[in-house]
Amino acid sequence: MNMTDVFWAMVIATILLLAGKYIRAATPLFQRLYLPSAIIAGLLALLLGPEALGRVVRLVWHEDAPLAGGVFSETILSIWSSVPGLLISVVFAGLFVGKSIAPPRTIWREAGPMVVHGQFIAWGQYVVGLSLAIWLLYPVWGTDPLAGALIEISFEGGHGTAAGLADTFRELGFESGADLALGLATIGVVAGVLLGTLLVNWAVRKGHITPPDEQTASEQEQMAEHDQREIVQAHERAARHLIDPLSVHLGYLGAAIGLGWLLHRGLMWIERITWVAAGGPELMRHIPLFPLAMLGGVCIQLLLDRTGRGARIDRQLINRISGAALDLLIVTALGTLSLAAIGAEFGPFVVLALAGTAWNLLAFFWLAPRLLGKDWVPYGLANFGQCMGMTVIGLLLIRMTDPHNRTGAMHSFGYKQLLFEPVVGGGLFTAASLPLIYEFGAGPILILTAIVMFAWLGLGWWQYMGHKR
């Protein structure tokens, strides 16, 4: 493997992205599902690889037949398998660069109910997953207890988080976990759109919302290609009249990643001289770089705001860089997905998919109307869409139920991310959950996540559902 191999591996990935774009444009079903072009391109790469085309050729002919390993060489597949763990840091470093970081008091005032609802769903996904891992998946199928974190990693975190944690899965001895996570993330995206559309129609029939205005074809195309970015692009605070060079913005993201790396090293050093020196296990070395790169991005933005340079960031350009990184990440991750690993864990895979979807529906029907007030449908569907796999699905469902932002759901959803994504949905606890389960066992982490889940529920009841309603 050399730089020429890396170059051609990326060239092929971009060609697949282009093919995915045209396939989507020519397939009305994919457009109605709002299926991102990158996912289509990744599935195309999977079909042309050794897990699909290669397997068929080997079954029909023999192991040494042409295309027995698929269209792509082993070198390209090896490079692709390494790409997601690198590009995910670029995606997360750009989450908050170019956005005005509002004070926590302001965020809570504007989006408190949505924060409570989203946090309850996320921590509940751990409770559901770990309960299944302890009392069903391990006793029946012998599945690794780390599978208890898969629902939150895949549904709440999405493809980027699932791919970014692949190395952590491998380090902790659960190699099939990365493939299961990517498979569940794909199920979550499709189910989120289908179920979300059904819920919108249900809400219209029940009178919970007025029929939304029809979107124009250009609006639908714009929303569809908002696609893979697990980044809230609403309420950008950067001055739009500035157009900074691409290299400068890459430098800001590089600084955020570098700051995250220094933070990671510092935390590892502190852990070694305190926790590990007292006989505790090492945890920080299992935590990947990307959530700390996100914190690095927050620090960079705060520094820019403090020095009066925040307006120099073109948020749209940051979104372009992050979006391109996420596109390539999804293509390469899905292209190297192991169908054999999913087949070997098919029972747990189905159970986790059904249980995660059922939990998200329960949180929508039971908690959202009690917590989110009279406009609970657009607010609840925003969180439902995000907790099924991608932030953009939440944005899509807001657009479907409240296209003119009459309820303020879009505004609150944007603020909510500032108190949500640093912790769950790809944040620090999402990354730490795997080493925590590995070191302390599924039982203690189940107790921990259950306590946090009920704490959020209690806070919501006291603040919004009880006497203050």
**Residue 455 CB partners (closer than 8 Å, separation 6+):** none
Cα dist. 249→10, 236, 298, 328 in Å?
21, 16, 15, 19
Signed CA dihedral, 68, 70, 75, 78: sign only: negative
Lowest mean per-residue pLDDT among 16-20, 155-159, 203-207, 300-304? 203-207
Lowest mean per-residue pLDDT among 37-46, 117-126, 345-354? 37-46
- Residue the block writes with tokens 């050729």: 57
Lowest mean per-residue pLDDT among 9-13, 327-331, 443-447? 327-331
pLDDT confidence tier of residue 225, bands split at 50, 70 and 90: very low
Number of H helices, E strands in the chain: 22, 0
Residue-wise pLDDT tens digits, 289-344: 888 888 899 899 989 888 888 877 888 888 889 889 988 988 988 888 888 888 88
Of all residues in the chain, what percent carry a pLDDT higher than 90?
A: 37
**425 against 76, higher pLDDT:** 76
Pick from 280, 298, 335: which is nearest to 419 by CA? Answer: 298
In a domain, 418, yes or no: yes
Cβ 183 vs Cβ 342: under 8 Å: yes
Task: Give residue 216's region: left, alpha or beta (phi > 0; psi -120 to 50).
Answer: beta
Residue-wise pLDDT tens digits, 254-288: 999 999 999 999 999 998 998 888 887 778 888 88
In a domain, 49, yes or no: no
For the record, the structure tokens of 132 come out as 């299944």
Of all residues in the chain, what percent carry a pLDDT higher than 70?
A: 90
Cβ 256 vs Cβ 296: under 8 Å: yes
pLDDT (0 to 100) of residue 66:
82
pLDDT confidence tier of residue 236, bands split at 50, 70 and 90: very low
**354 against 398, higher pLDDT:** 354
Pick from 116, 34, 115, 97: which is nearest to 413 by CA? Answer: 115
Supply the range of the domain harboring residue 81.
73-211+229-242+291-465
In a domain, 4, yes or no: no
Mean pLDDT across 351-365: 95
Task: Give residue 121's region: left, alpha or beta (phi > 0; psi -120 to 50).
Answer: alpha
pLDDT (0 to 100) of residue 436:
94
pLDDT confidence tier of residue 457, bands split at 50, 70 and 90: very high
In a domain, 31, yes or no: no
CA distance 467 to 151: 34
pLDDT (0 to 100) of residue 36:
78
SS3 227: coil
pLDDT (0 to 100) of residue 192:
87
pLDDT (0 to 100) of residue 60:
85
pLDDT (0 to 100) of residue 237:
38
**Residue 218: CA atoms inside 13 Å, Cβ hemisphere, count?**
0
Cβ 181 vs Cβ 352: under 8 Å: no
Give the end-to-end CA distance of the chain in Å, rounded to a whole number.
Answer: 62
Highest mean pLDDT among 44-58, 218-232, 356-370: 356-370
In a domain, 126, yes or no: yes
pLDDT confidence tier of residue 466, bands split at 50, 70 and 90: low
Chain-centroid distance, C-alpha 209: 28
pLDDT confidence tier of residue 218, bands split at 50, 70 and 90: very low
Lowest mean per-residue pLDDT among 132-141, 204-213, 256-265, 327-336? 204-213
How many domains in the chain?
1
pLDDT of residue 468 exceeding 80: no
pLDDT confidence tier of residue 211, bands split at 50, 70 and 90: low
CA distance 36 to 21: 8
In a domain, 433, yes or no: yes
Residue-wise pLDDT tens digits, 77-109: 999 988 888 888 898 888 888 887 778 788 788
Please give the mean pLDDT across all residues of the chain: 84
pLDDT (0 to 100) of residue 1:
67
Q: How many residues does the chain have?
A: 469
Mean pLDDT across 408-412: 79
In a domain, 8, yes or no: no
Lowest mean per-residue pLDDT among 55-59, 217-221, 352-356? 217-221
pLDDT (0 to 100) of residue 252:
92
**Residue 19 CB partners (closer than 8 Å, separation 6+):** 41, 44
CA distance 47 to 231: 28
pLDDT (0 to 100) of residue 242:
45
Pick from 407, 406, 381: which is nearest to 395 by CA? Answer: 381
Cβ 268 vs Cβ 444: under 8 Å: no
In a domain, 28, yes or no: no
CA distance 405 to 15: 37
Angle, alpha carbons 237-243-248 (nearest 5°): 95
pLDDT confidence tier of residue 111, bands split at 50, 70 and 90: confident
